Copies of this chain bind each other. A is one copy, B any other.
C-alpha cells in the first residue's frame, strides 16, 4: 500500500520537470497559466508546512521538490514574459 502512495507522490512531483525543461527549451510560457502556478505554489507551500508540523518525511520531501519546480516555472513565466503575456 505504501509503495502506491510513494509512487503516486514521485509521479506528481517529477511531473513538473518536463514542464520546466519545455519552457527552458522554447523560452516561451505563454499558455502556462500564471494564476495556476501562483495558487499551486501557495498550496504546495502549505503542504510543506503541514508535512513539517506532522513530521511526515514523504510529504516534506515531495512538496519541497514540487515547490522548487513550481517556483522555477513562476520565475520562467516572469523571465520569458515578453513571449508570455
Contact = CB atoms under 8 A, between A and B. Distances in A.
Contacts of A19: 32-33, 35-36
Contacts of A37: 15
A: interface residue count bin = 35 or more
Nearest to A37: B15
Contacts of A23: 31
Given A4-B50, A7-B46, A14 B39 contact: yes
A13 B39 CA distance: 9
Contact of A4 (B9, B32, B49): B49
Interface of A: 1, 4-5, 7-19, 21-23, 26, 28-33, 35-37, 39-40, 42-44, 46-47, 49-50, 53-54, 84
